[in-house]
Chains A and B, each alone.
Chain A
Amino acid sequence: MEEEDQQKLTDLVKELILRLLSCKSPNSASQSPSSPHFQASLRYAVRILSSRLAPSVAPDAAAVAESIKRHLAIHGKSSQALTFADLYSKFDSKTGPGSINNKWAVLYLLKIISEDRSLAGNDPNYPSLLPNIECFEAESGDKSRVSREREGGRVGWDKGVLLVSKDPENLRQLAFKEYADLVKEENEVSEELLVRDVLYACQGIDGKYVKYGSIVDGYILSDLVKVPRATRTMVRKLCELGWLFRKVKGYISDSMDRFPGEDVGTVGQAFCAALQDELSEYYKLLAVLESQSMNPIPLVSESASSGNYLTLRRLSVWLAEPLVKMRLMAVLVDKCRVLRGGAMAGAIHLQAQHGDLLVSEFMKRLLTRVCSPLFEMVRSWVLEGELEDIFSEFFIVGQQVKAESLWREGYRLHSGMLPAFISNSLAQRILRTGKSINFLRVCCDDRGWAESAMEAASAAGTTTRRGSLGYGETGALESLINEAAKRIDRHLLDVMYNRYKFKEHCLAIKRYLLLGQGDFVQYLMDIIWPELSEPANTISSFKLAGLLESAIRSSNAQYDDPEILDRLRVKMMPHSAGDRGWDVFSLEYDPRVPLDTIFTESVMVKYLRIFNFLWKLRRVEHALIGAWKAMKPNSITSQAFLKLQRAAKMPLLLTLRKCQVLWNEMNHFLTNLQDYIMFEVLEVSWLNFSHEMEVAKDLDDLLMAHEKYLNSILEKSLLGERSRALHKSLFILFDLILRFRSHADRLYEGINELQTRSGKSSLASRDNKKSGQQRNEGPSKTSSWASDGRKALTQRAGEFLRNMQNDLDSLAKEYTTLLEGFLSQLPVQQHVDLKFLMFRLDFTEFYSRLGVNKC
């Protein structure tokens, strides 16, 4: 069988060669198998046949048919392509005996022969175009009518009609060949290598041709490498990604280096971590691309040279999205290079306000991670009062202060670190809540706030564990803070009111320092009066303390809470020479922790001022009342009146009367002033303060209410800044009143003396003792008096009374002027309540009319 086949093979080959040679040169003599040409050809053919034993392409008939079809379609012969497809399907369906077994081989053969023919037809020596077209045209005609003439040569004008086909195939082929040559010339470097280099550049590594140029600050293709301009531009564009990557990576490694030096905070670290995550995604993409770049495209047609999958254009498509992301990251890196903590979070948040969905998603992811340390800090501050902020990134800063100023100065907001998504009011609430917890812990020694914190957390739906809040959940944060603030504030106020009896202490201060407890003040004044008239340096505070004690014990104050009474003390202010006790005496109240947050040093100083003023007022009032005691109509004066001569009667009456009138005026003034202070100022302010204490929601409210209370008292009692002039004139008035008192005293003493003198002559025997006592006062006068008669007495009395009268007159005048001055200043005061004072003092418009009349 083998032998048979071989023989058949040889025969067939010979036959083939014969036919080929004969058809090639039809005019020559018919070839015989023995011609030398034939033999040579035979040998040649055999050589060729034996050299290629295996085909180079996989035997797939359908694939070959496909490629033939495509080939035909490309060259514009679509109808032929369809016909071919039809034929092929019929051809393929022929199976069984007598059919061709190796269909693929046949098809492949036909394909190659036709290609060879067309290639041979593109010989540059080819004379003209037309015959070729001719050929095609002829072919497109009836296929069955293929004749030997046509086979003999290509040239033949069968139909005599010229049809120009759309794309002359060999022109195209010509153009392609030229182009291929050109490209080969220009491209020193193949695209594959460039792609690989670009991929390296995108990871920040210098490739063979694409290197980082520090002058231009970018990845560029070296000028020495010859690549076409288009490629160069494209490579440049793609390398922007590399530059951005380099920047981001540089920032991350910088931060990592600086971290041990404690320059980068937790927020910065979180930022770096988030960036690194994004970069790892990027690396994944690059790895995929790299693996792809090695693979060729699986193509059906083998003749086309399959370039690599990844061309520069494809790469640019793939890298478009990473480019956007990397740009975002680079922008963020730039902005955040110098920022830290909350400021960094705020800056990133601002960048996140973007309409593009991709950008905002990306930013949100980044921000969730960046803000988690911040939120953690907020949570621990609000629920536990802990401030763990090593790198000072939080927007609340604390400082070491004494316990009493913990509330006011211990913590404050640092607005530079406040990110934009936390509003100012929210930040205030956060600050207050944490402050309250710390205050409770430090000053009040209270542990009950922990339960409040737990309640708050559960009410807000989060837990007290870490990491339960995140960026974008500002609503949750706000509700947590609100709940916590509410509860803690309430707890704090409870503690203040119940445990530390804030209200009671306030009331006590009002009663004692603001002289609210009338009976106590009266008694104290009574017994302390003689003491305080001494010069300041002779007074001992122990004695005064003892007097205070006895005053307390003898008034209703003894029933007060001993804790409160404990804190009431006498205070001696530093005195200078010439000071009387009145100038240095004051009471003080000792608020202890935690109440001294409210009753700070400055607050107590204010209270002291008010006390001094009120005390002086009381003293003057007391003096005046004392004068009244002496001025009461009594037996002595009436007796004196009777006893005196007529000449002295009138002056006496006048003097007395003047004294009375003046006293009345002064009393009127003082009483009204006192009433005003007591009722309009102190009581009203206290009422307002009590109201506000009821509605106060937290300690800040309470502090403000108390300050308002104090300030209104100061203002209304003329102790404020604006009423300084008024205050001075008031004190001058007080001094005047005191002087009047001493004058009145002297007057009445004088009258007493007169009376005793005049009564001495008649009652000498009876009043020996009395006169003896009274004689001690004026030993030099008595003898002269006793010796003089009634006339001398009258004379004396007249003189004395005249003097007194003059004094009183001058006093009265002074008083009137001063009072007028005082009253005239009142209307120009700002405070509306001072108008009430004016109203009281000048109820009958007596003084204003006086003023008018004078003008």
Chain B
Amino acid sequence: MDPEAARTARESLDLAFQMSNILDTGLDRHTLSVLIALCDLGLNPEALAAVVKELRREPSSSAPVLPPPSFP
């Protein structure tokens, strides 16, 4: 990555992080960057948000019984 692109990326991430703080999403910078990368790759943001929600839930309510996954 050239410095220009890096700078852009960094700034974008900063802005996104600030927005995320305003919205009180509770995401830290690193997680947010991962999520952004995933969105860029084309995943459905609704699905990602669901994942985040589920995995954030109380330990008692998490770890559901799952059938064998079908990985795409």
Chain A contact residues, CB within 8 Å of chain B = 5, 8-10, 12-13, 15-17, 19-21, 23-25, 37, 40-56, 68, 72, 80, 83-84, 87-88, 90-91, 94, 96-102, 105-114, 116-118, 120, 135-136, 139, 143-144, 146, 148, 151
Contact = CB atoms under 8 A, between A and B. Distances in A.
B21 A106 contact: no
A87 B38 contact: no
A9 B23 contact: no
A102 B19 contact: no
A151 B4 contact: no
A94 B28 CA distance: 21
Contact of B21 (A45, A99, A111, A146): A146
A48 B50 contact: yes
Contact of B8 (A72, A97, A112): A97
A87 B23 CA distance: 12
Given A49-B43, A113-B25, A100 B16 contact: yes
Nearest to A91: B15
A15 B34 contact: yes
Contacts of B24: 114, 117-118, 135-136, 139
Contacts of B44: 49, 52-55
Contact of B5 (A15, A56, A90, A96): A96
Contact of B36 (A54, A106, A108): A106
Given A91-B19, A98-B1, A143-B18, 14 more contacts: A24-B55, A41-B62, A46-B71, A50-B47, A91-B12, A98-B6, A100-B12, A100-B40, A111-B23, A114-B20, A117-B26, A120-B57, A139-B21, A144-B18
Contacts of B41: 5, 8-9, 12
A341 to B, nearest CB: 75
Nearest to B48: A109
B22 A80 contact: yes
A275 to B, nearest CB: 58
Contact of A84 (B2, B22, B36): B22
Interface residue SS majority, chain B: helix
Contacts of A84: 19, 22-23
B31 A16 contact: yes
B22 A48 contact: no
Contacts of A101: 40
A41 B64 CA distance: 8
Contact of B34 (A16, A54, A91, A146): A16
Interface in B10-67: 11-12, 15-28, 30-31, 34-57, 59, 62-64, 66
Given A16-B35, A19-B31, A143-B21, A97 B4 contact: yes
A316 to B, nearest CB: 40
Contacts of A21: 55
A16 B59 CA distance: 17
Contact of A16 (B23, B38, B42, B64): B38
A40 B68 CA distance: 10
B63 to A, nearest CB: 5
A20 B55 contact: yes
Nearest to B34: A16
B55 A112 contact: no
B69 to A, nearest CB: 4
B23 A114 contact: yes
B47 A98 contact: no
Contact of A102 (B26, B42, B69): B42
Contacts of A54: 44
Contact of A40 (B35, B42, B63): B63
A790 B34 CA distance: 188
Contacts of B43: 9, 49
A495 B9 CA distance: 113
A33 to B, nearest CB: 14
Given A20-B52, A49-B44, A55-B45, A99 B15 contact: no
Given A16-B51, A97-B2, A110 B56 contact: no
A105 B39 contact: yes
Nearest to A81: B22
Contact of B19 (A87, A148, A151): A87
Contact of B56 (A8, A24, A44, A112): A24
B30 to A, nearest CB: 6
Contact of B16 (A53, A91, A118, A146): A91
A46 B66 CA distance: 11
A45 B51 contact: yes
Given A5-B41, A87-B18, A113-B27, A49 B11 contact: no
B66 A44 contact: yes
Given A24-B56, A83-B22, A40 B64 contact: yes
16 contacts: A8-B41, A9-B38, A20-B55, A24-B56, A25-B59, A49-B47, A52-B46, A87-B22, A96-B8, A106-B36, A109-B35, A113-B25, A113-B26, A116-B52, A148-B28, A151-B27
A109 B21 contact: no
A795 B54 CA distance: 176
Which one of B17, B24, B30, B72 has the greatest number of beta carbons of chain A within 10 Å?
B24
Given A19-B30, A106-B45, A94 B66 contact: no
A31 to B, nearest CB: 11
B23 to A, nearest CB: 4
A68 B44 CA distance: 19
B18 to A, nearest CB: 5
A460 B47 CA distance: 86
A209 B64 CA distance: 48
A28 to B, nearest CB: 8
Contacts of A136: 24
A84 B20 CA distance: 9
Contacts of B39: 100, 102, 105-106, 109
A56 B50 CA distance: 14
Contacts of A9: 38, 41, 43
Contacts of A87: 15, 18-19, 22
A154 to B, nearest CB: 8
B28 A151 contact: yes
Contacts of A118: 24
B64 A113 contact: no
Contacts of A24: 55-56, 59
B69 A43 contact: yes
A43 B35 CA distance: 17
- Top 8 nearest A-B pairs (CB, nearest first) are A98-B5, A114-B23, A98-B8, A43-B69, A112-B49, A105-B39, A98-B9, A109-B45
A72 B30 CA distance: 25
Nearest to B13: A100
Given A16-B31, A113-B52, A72 B22 contact: yes
A177 to B, nearest CB: 19
Nearest to B27: A113
Contacts of B20: 110, 113-114
A54 B63 CA distance: 26
Contacts of B15: 87, 90-91, 94
Contacts of B59: 24-25
B5 A97 contact: yes
Nearest to A57: B46
A368 B31 CA distance: 79
A12 B26 CA distance: 19
B53 A120 contact: yes
Contacts of B52: 20, 113, 116
B27 to A, nearest CB: 7
Name the residue in B4, B37, B70 with the highest tally of chain A Cβ atoms < 10 Å from its Cβ.
B37
Nearest to A79: B22
Contacts of B70: 46-47, 50
A111 B49 CA distance: 9
A87 B55 CA distance: 28
A11 B46 CA distance: 20
A116 B48 CA distance: 12
Contacts of B28: 19, 23, 146, 148, 151
